[in-house]
Structure 1
Amino acid sequence: MHYKKSEAKEWAREQMRGVCNIILPTFTSDLKGLNEKAIRHDVRRTIELGFWGSLIVSECGTTHDEYIRFLEIVLDEAGGRLKTVVHGSFDTLDDLIKVTRRAAEVGGHVLLLSYPPTFYPRHDQDIYDFTSSVLGEVNLATVLFPVHQWNFDRVHPSCLSIDLVDKLADLPNAVAIKAEGGPPGNGQIVELLDRCADRLLISDPRESSSPAWIKMFGMQWMGTSNFEYFGNTVPRYFDMLQKGDLKGGMELYWQMHPARSARLADMQTFAGAYFIHRASWKYQSWLNGFNGGPLRMPVMRLSDGGTRRLRDAAVRAKVIDDSVSGGLDEYYLGRNPA
């Protein structure tokens, strides 16, 4: 562990500064095992682009043992140059606790808390009991995560009510919140700042809002999402805005807007699935130098039309060169085939 449980909030205030992308697993071409060379390639590319850290994604068909090995490879290749966010997305509460404990033992830095698809709370107390059970059993600094995908908006429109978050914020290893609850609008952000900013780092991963949040309340950490699609643009403009260079930061912000718009349009194509199109996210990262390669089922399919729009928008945004072909045949092969 990088800190004591009682030190988690202080550690987060000091260490969680910058932008957190994602790293998806890469498998061998027969999908029988992890492609270690490819994973190491993606870690080096993430560091090169200037990210603070990466969410090590668990929703791509890895077994529990493979997920821990995936995390170990990332940590070994990073050599302390990259923080790791453990993706707490597993089938059951028991699985979540067991795997997350192992992740802490091998050196994971932070936990992003998710909820199993079969978890069906009826009241705030049900969500509190589940969440506090995890944080009680696991020592990792934890990012709370309200989002519509949990189907919690029937309990409260913001997915996690402010009273619930206020109570969870008192837990010693609740250190931040990835605030995506209650769209559209910024009502949840306003309530969180009013009630919980003394105990939680408030983060909105929807990077298009980051100029406002940096200026208005000094948002110091943004994550987690597939910001690597934009190359190094998001870490660069985020850093500029943090340092008060509004002009330089906003020039980059607007330069990447064609790619931002294409990415948001792509997300709308699977909005009703309550699931992230991980193959699309992996394709987007491949456009900007990551490995690419196939993912295990269940995984959504890629289309020539959809990927072409993402590639062309990235060219217009000047985050990739026009020489990048974007062909799916090349993407499925990957840059380090095994």
Structure 2
Amino acid sequence: MARYKRSEAREWGREMLNGVANVTIPTMKSDFETLNETAIRHDVELSIKHGFVGSLACSEVAITLDQYGQFLSVMADQAAGRSIIVHHAVFNSLEQNLRALKMAEEGGAELVLLSYPPYFYPKDYEEVYEYTRTMCEATDLAVMLFQLPAWGFQRLHPSDIPVSLLRRLVDDCPNVAGIKAEGGTPHFMSMIEVHRHFHKEVVVSCPLDFEYVPLAQVMPIQFSGTNYTSLYGPTIPNIHKLIAAGEYDEATRIWYEIEPARKAFLGQGVAAHGLINRMMWKYEGWLQGYNGGPMPHPTMRVHSHSMKALRQGMIASNLNPTQDPDEAFFIGRNPE
């Protein structure tokens, strides 16, 4: 149950979406049939310990809708109000996404990251508006709009979702509490434009650490997420605190220090053709103490050359990755 009313979504967002949110990826038992609840609870607890204010219940993996509902509920139960559970609204169709919204509400999510299905191929932005408004009107939860090249909307506008459409949605949907501004990647013009137009009304998230840390020193950015920053352990939440305190030199020093890990990550091509390699994200988190362990097939894979590069990047960045051998990743820290 959310801690706010629908009419309070923006006020709640302004107060609570302050910090960094990561991503939790579900873990299966060794039979690959059922969820490993112990492993999921381990990841939520470590995320809180690392200073993340929230975590996305990742649905972009090969689990059923019912398994996803269970996964999110376990996350919310473990978080027990200490962390914001974010619903990943990216199932196959509008109908499935509406069902998943109800599961998310009942399971304890407090924020919806509104995404678009792979087979949603709108002919114009009016179709995007109708889909998005339908989703927003179907829930009392706060919604974060999401610009991203993966949706395929750049054929309509270089920013993926232009300011004119965002303006309509912010005006027409009072539970829109934020915008994840990742449009037009690799350029950050959209982040600048969205911030300029909307940061006084809704929370504008800058999810990429290599953009967030520099930009937050020259413009107010209170939230970064959801993102892959479990890669760095508690580092990005710590940098957020430094920036909030005006300690820009120290934040910048640490940002430079983790450059080897950043380059190793960006060099792996983790988002080919719009699908993120969640198994690789899971390995990166495992290096920092998260569970690792089984994911159901089909999944993209992580190979030895990538594991070596990621581990060495962390070592060079003084991030102290686990000394456990890579084969232990495939079993996980809480095998069942």
Q: TM-score, normalised by structure 2?
A: 0.96
Residue of structure 2 equivalent to 1:195: 197
- Retained in 2: the 8 A contact 1:51–1:235? yes
Deviations 1:106-146 (A, max 9, x none): 22110001111110011111100000000011111111111
Map residues 123-202 of structure 1 onto 2, 5 A cutoff. 123-170=124-171, 171-202=173-204
Q: CA deviation at 1:105?
A: 2.0
Whole-Å separation in 1 of the counterparts to 2:213 and 2:329: 33
Deviations 1:194-244 (A, max 9, x none): 322232211111111123332222100100112111011110011101110
Secondary structure at 1:145 match in 2: strand
The count of corresponding residues between Structure 1 and Structure 2 is 334
Residue of structure 1 equivalent to 2:329: 331
**Identity fraction in percent:** 36
Residue of structure 2 equivalent to 1:57: 58
Q: Which runs of 5+ in 1 are unaligned?
A: none
Residue of structure 2 equivalent to 1:282: 282
Deviations 1:231-267 (A, max 9, x none): 111100111011101122222211111101111111x
Residue of structure 2 equivalent to 1:86: 87
- Retained in 2: the 8 A contact 1:2–1:107? no
Deviations 1:40-80 (A, max 9, x none): 11111111111101001011222111111111111111222
Whole-Å separation in 2 of the counterparts to 1:76 and 1:113: 22
- Retained in 2: the 8 A contact 1:292–1:334? yes
Residue of structure 2 equivalent to 1:217: 219
Whole-Å separation in 1 of the counterparts to 2:330 and 2:191: 39
Residue of structure 1 equivalent to 2:74: 73
- Retained in 1: the 8 A contact 2:143–2:178? yes
- Retained in 2: the 8 A contact 1:307–1:326? no
Superposed CA RMSD in Å reads: 1.3
Whole-Å separation in 2 of the counterparts to 1:223 and 1:293: 24
Whole-Å separation in 2 of the counterparts to 1:211 and 1:301: 30
- Retained in 2: the 8 A contact 1:124–1:161? no
Whole-Å separation in 1 of the counterparts to 2:203 and 2:317: 31
Residue of structure 2 equivalent to 1:293: 293
Whole-Å separation in 2 of the counterparts to 1:72 and 1:313: 34
- Retained in 2: the 8 A contact 1:287–1:326? no
1:253 to 246, 252, 255: 255
Q: TM-score, normalised by structure 1?
A: 0.96
Residue of structure 1 equivalent to 2:39: 38
Whole-Å separation in 2 of the counterparts to 1:211 and 1:230: 14
Q: CA deviation at 1:325?
A: 4.0
Q: CA deviation at 1:298?
A: 2.3
